[in-house]
Each structure stands twice: as structure tokens, then as C-alpha cells.
Amino acid sequence: MDKSVTLDKKHATITVLICFLIAVIEGIDIQAAGVAAAGIKEYFALDAKQLGLFFSAGILGLLPGALVGGRYADRIGRKKVLIASVSIFAIFTLCTVWVNSFYTLLLVRFLAGAGLGAAMPNLIALASESTTPENRGRAVGLMYCGMPIGAIIVSLLAAQLASADMASSWKTIFYVGGLVPLIVVPLMIKFLPESREFLKAQQDVKTSEQKPLSYKDLFSREYATRTLLLWVSYFFTLMVVYIMLSWLPSLFTELGFSRKDGSMAMVYFQIGAAIGTVVLGMLIDRWNKAYVIILMYVGILIGLFSLNSATSLNLMFVAAAVMGTFTIGGQGVLYAFGSFVYPTHLRGQGVGAASAVGRIGAMMGPAIAGQLLAMGSGATGVITAAIPCIIISAIIMVLLTRRLEAA
């Protein structure tokens, strides 16, 4: 790599650390809705259908957020867009505490989701561009391990609030979710460096008078196949990831375990996730990428089969940890792959578009799982239905890896 874009360790450390803190914020938000659901249901007098809309509003906001955030990341810079997106998320997360009507609640959750969705492509771009290409997987893995850590923080907070009146204590979770990013924003303004790769790419564009790229460039002759393969893999993988995130505690109760056991399973899931994001991120830099992809998807399949066949609570906890290791760890690998697939001047838009497609799968997965449970398929039916999604994703990602190696 050219010395002018080789980044020193201090630059990389500061960038990954701040991006890690924002990933913690994402983890807090992902877990917050589920943990606060009982209190919100009581406070707003919601029925099951309205509660489902509350869950969907935040996820729906991630789609336009990822598209807009990725697009402007490649135009005005990763740092500026990240600061704006985290600020939007913080403001509307705090607004969740202050609204007094159901439809206003949906609006602020959608807008908070949009802010968070815009942040993710920028986190991936900044983390991957903060170091050399040989260490990008590790950088993205270290950054994204903040997500499960944030989820664990909320789970522990929820345990402390368990004995309190949930009709009022749910607000504490959103106060934490809104105030933490407001603390991080000044740190970003003061300490977060802009990506040097982006600055160099911008200078090259000005020098060559090249017109700004748009999403249609993802389907140019050079990138069209890569884009479609990445989209399919993001879609099916995130579908399974969010089935686990949304339904794992319920699947435990379906299998005859207690709600407390289901909550404990999520803790094991997130501990495995924190380990998996770091370890798989390091492996993607050191091993043949196809081998890491195979390991990742085989690990998910082992976790699914283990959930289906475990005969004791301890084995179920092990299965949950395995699922966390390879689903969330695998999600981190996919995010790292976005930095390999696209060059600097197209990376934000490419990862943003793939993330948006993945979020569609994230919305559909829990809904399909809910329908299967309503039809009487039970936990076994849900877990079995996830297996073809993983096999398809694995095949697609191996094809993408081979294509990148041949390029």
C-alpha cells in the first residue's frame, strides 16, 4: 500500500475505539426495545399488534438510514455523516421517553432507527480504512464486538430494574440509550480523525474532475455481480441473525424452559457474539477467506442443530453461545467483506446498500418466525426453516470469495 495512505497505530486505535463505542450504542438499542416492551405495552396500553409495530418501526428506519448514510459518506466524508447520524439517533431516542401517543412513539422510533442505520456504513468504512488492508477484518471485528457488549449492558440493567415498576422504569433504558451517544458526539468531534483513504480518494476525484458516483455504479460491469452476491448473503444471514435476536428467549420457552432460562440464554448468546466478532475478524485477515466463510456458516449450522437436539439446559446454553459466536461474529465478517468488495470511493454506498438489503431480511425473519409459531410449527419448525437460509448464504459467499480472488 502507498505510504501516503498507510495509517499509524494511534490513528487506527482512536478510530476503532470511538467506532466501538458507537457499536455499543447500537447493541443497547437493539436490546432496549425487547427489554422495555412490557413497560411500554402497559404505559401506552398497547395490544400485541401495536407492540409488533413498535418493534418494526425502529428496524424500518434502518433501511433509508443506511442508504442515505452510505451515499453521503462517499460525498462529504465518513466523520461528518457519523456525527450527524449519532446525534439524530440520540435526540429521537430521548424523545421516546417524552412522547405521549402511540403514533408519535412510532415516528420517533423510526427516526432513531434512521440515525442508527446511517451510522453503520460509516462505522465499517472508518474502521476498515483506519488500518492496512491486511488488518481490516480485525479492525471491523474489534469495532463490532461493541454491539453484543452493549446488549449485555442492557440485559444487566434490565435485571436491576426487574423488581421495579416496569410502567415507569422502562424510561431509564431509553435515557441511557439517548444520553450515552450525546456523550460520545463531542468525543467524535474532538478526537475522531477523518479517513485518510477517503481524503485521498476525494483529492483524486478533484484532480481527475470525475463526477460523483451514485448507486447505479454498484451495477457497473465491474461490480454488478459482486453487489448481487453480497446482497443475497446479507439478506439471508441477517434474516437468521434477527430471528435469533428476537425469538431466542421465546424459543426456549417453546422448548419447555422457563422465561428466566430464556433471558439467561441471551446473555450466553451475546457473550459468544463478543468473542466471535473478534476471533472471526482476526481469522479473515490471516486465513484464506473462503475457509473462514465455511467455518462461519458451519458454526451457525452446528448451533441450529444443537438448539434442535439439546436435551438439557446446560447444552441449550452452549448452543446459544455457539449461535452468538457464529451469527453475530458472521455478521461482523460480512461487514468486513464490504470493505474488501468495494474501493474507497464506492465503499460507503456499497456497504450502505448491502446493509439496507440485509435489514429487509432482518424485518422479514422475525415476522416469518412469528407466523411459523402461530401455525403451530413450534421452535423446531423455526430452527429448521433457518437452515436453508444459511446454506444459501454460505454458497453465495464462497462464490463471492472466489470471484474476489480471481479479480
Give a three-class secondary structure readout of the chain: CCHHHCCCHHHHHHHHHHHHHHHHHHHHHHHHHHHHHHHHHHHHCCCHHHHHHHHHHHHHHHHHHHHHHHHHHHHHCHHHHHHHHHHHHHHHHHHHHHCCCHHHHHHHHHHHHHHHHHHHHHHHHHHHHCCCHHHHHHHHHHHHCHHHHHHHHHHHHHHHHCCCCHHHHHHHHHHHHHHHHHHHHHHHHHHCCCCHHHHHHHHHHHHHCCCCCCHHHHHCCCCHHHHHHHHHHHHHHHHHHHHHHHHHHHHHHHCCCCHHHHHHHHHHHHHHHHHHHHHHHHHHHHCCHHHHHHHHHHHHHHHHHHHHHCCCHHHHHHHHHHHHHHHHHHHHHHHHHHHHHCCHHHHHHHHHHHHHHHHHHHHHHHHHHHHHHHCCCHHHHHHHHHHHHHHHHHHHHHHHHHHHHHC
| One-letter amino acid for residue 123 of the chain | L
Q: What is the CATH number of domain 3-406?
A: 1.20.1250.20
Side-chain-side CA neighbours of 122 within 13 Å: the count stands at: 33
Side-chain-side CA neighbours of 21 within 13 Å: the count stands at: 19
- Judged on CB neighbours under 10 Å (0-12, 13-18, 19+), 337 is buried
Give the residue carrying C-alpha cell 442505520: 117
Instruction: Identify which of 82, 102, 108, 87 has the alpha carbon closest to the alpha carbon of residue 19.
Output: 82
pLDDT at position 381 over 90: no
Taking residues 389-403, what's their average pLDDT? 90
Q: What percent of the chain has pLDDT over 90?
A: 25
More confident residue, 186 or 37: 186
Q: Tell me the pLDDT band of 165, cut-offs 50, 70 and 90.
A: low
Q: What percent of the chain has pLDDT over 70?
A: 92
The grid cell for 374 is 402461530
pLDDT of residue 162: 56
Q: What residues does each domain of the chain span?
A: 3-406
- Judged on CB neighbours under 10 Å (0-12, 13-18, 19+), 134 is exposed
In angstroms, rounded to a whole number, what is the distance separating the alpha carbons of residues 303 and 282?
21
pLDDT of residue 7: 46
Q: Tell me the pLDDT band of 392, cut-offs 50, 70 and 90.
A: very high
Crossing angle (nearest 10°) for helices 259-286 and 289-309? 160
This prediction's pTM = 0.83
Least confident residue range of 71-75, 228-232, 245-249, 397-401: 245-249
pLDDT (tens digit per residue) in 291-348: 889 999 999 999 888 888 877 888 888 988 999 999 898 888 888 887 788 887 788 8
